[in-house]
Amino acid sequence: MGADIIDGKAFAAKLRGRIAEAVADFRRDKGLVPGLAVVLVGEDPASQVYVRNKGRQTLEAGMASEEHRLPATTGQAELLALIARLNADPAVHGILVQLPLPSQIDTAAVIGAVSPEKDVDGFHVINVGRLATGQKALVPCTPLGCLMLLRDRLGDLSGANALVLGRSNIVGKPMAQLLLGESCTVTVAHSRTRDLAATCARADILVAAVGRPEMVKGDWIRPGATVIDVGINRVQGPDGKARLVGDVDFASAAEVAGAITPVPGGVGPMTIACLLANTLTAACRANGLEAPAGLAV
């Protein structure tokens, strides 16, 4: 008997619909349009695709979208000046600087320059600190999406043994904080963890975000566990064609798990949907309103 498939694509579509309804209410009640500004430096092909998709989905949700495309030779001072202008613009509620940035630019300085109240990536140290101390924060989009999928699947997460595989600032660490906030018992595992397979096998919830193709095997997984696979790895198949796989060996894991996200079609679609949720949350908070239920922590 195979695992239930957690359809992130369908969930994200419903989430975007809820956001669009809430944006319409916000526009009617406040006479304002939530606005997202995306900054892209250089011409990285993957980043260009992401930015194009973000712009399209922002407009579809009824929000204002503006893009600032800068050449790869842009200096740090010029980029920081643009961020300062966006920080000061009341029509912009969310600012996203697409990563990675060219080598001449200090990424940490750029992240730190974005107003925490407009930091829809949730990367600013003030938002990181707010999340860690249980305060209202803007939360990184991918972990927020993972949490939404887990809540939808399991309901109350309280008391569950949760393992986060990976300790990045973008996914692993904030994911652990979110699960702590749900009263899970949380373990963070990584490349130095001893007997990783046994550690994974104790988890009721396993979130894999380590960036290694199909690393987690089916016999690592506790029977009936819920598996959230954040990995997106491009590998060459037996036919010589490239394909996308996660950090979990889906075929063997699906034989054991109670529920699992596929790659593609699992966590990936949630990320942009949660970016829209964060932009709406930022717009609400900037105007003294609570974010709509279920969209923020």
- Report pTM: 0.96
Band of residue 64 on the pLDDT scale cut at 50, 70, 90 = very high
- pLDDT computed for residue 137 by the predictor: 96
Angle in degrees, CA 119, 74, 124, rounded to 5: 20
Cα–chain center distance at 250: 21
Predicted confidence at residue 3, as pLDDT, reads 95
pLDDT at 297: 80
| pLDDT tens digits along 110-164 | 999 999 999 999 999 999 999 999 999 999 999 999 999 999 999 999 999 999 9
The band of 76, judged by pLDDT with boundaries at 50, 70 and 90, is very high
pLDDT of residue 45: 86
Of 121, 204, 247, 249, which residue is the catalytic one? 121
Residue 93: per-residue pLDDT: 98
The pLDDT tens digits for 181-219 are: 999 999 999 989 999 999 999 999 999 999 999 999 999
What phi and psi, each to the nearest 5 degrees, are found at residue 165?
-100, 105
Token pair, residue 196, equals 């990783």
CB contact at 8 A, 104 and 112: no
How many angstroms separate the CA atoms of 173 and 273, rounded? 21
Radius of gyration for the chain, computed over Cα atoms and rounded to the nearest angstrom: 19
Annotation says 239 is catalytic: no
**pLDDT at residue 22, as a whole number:** 96
**How many degrees, rounded to 5, is the angle at CA 74 between CA 36 and CA 78?**
65
Is 266's pLDDT higher than 60?
yes
> Average pLDDT in the 88-96 region?
98
**CA nearest neighbour of 273 among 4, 94, 54, 101:** 54
Residue percentage of the chain with pLDDT more than 70: 100
The arithmetic mean of pLDDT across residues 226-232, rounded, is 97
Distance CA 205, CA 225 (A): 6
Q: Which residue, chain included where needed, has tokens 């006479």? A: 31
Which band of pLDDT confidence, cut at 50, 70 and 90, is reported for residue 50?
confident
What confidence category does residue 99 fall into, taking pLDDT thresholds of 50, 70 and 90?
very high
Degrees, nearest 5: CA angle 179-184-189? 70
Question: Hey, is 102 helix, strand or coil?
Answer: coil
pLDDT over 80 at 1, yes or no: no
Extract the tokens encoding 33: 């349009």
Range 218-232 average pLDDT: 97
* Active-site residue, selected from the candidate residues 57, 98, 118, 204: 98
**Per annotation, catalytic residue among 54, 177, 204, 247:** 54
Mean pLDDT of the chain: 96
d(CA 132, CA 248): 28
Instruction: Determine the pLDDT at residue 7.
Output: 98
Backbone phi, psi, residue 125, to 5°: -60, -25
pLDDT at residue 190 in the model: 92
Interval 2-36: pLDDT, tens: 899 999 999 999 999 999 999 999 999 999 999 99
Q: Is residue 98 flagged as an active site residue?
A: yes
For residue 69 the two structure tokens come to 């495309």
Cα separation, 254 vs 55, whole angstroms: 34
Q: Are 47 and 98 in contact (CB under 8 A)?
A: yes
What pLDDT, on a 0 to 100 scale, did the predictor assign at position 70? 97
Is residue 239 very low, low, confident or very high in pLDDT (cuts 50, 70, 90)?
Answer: confident
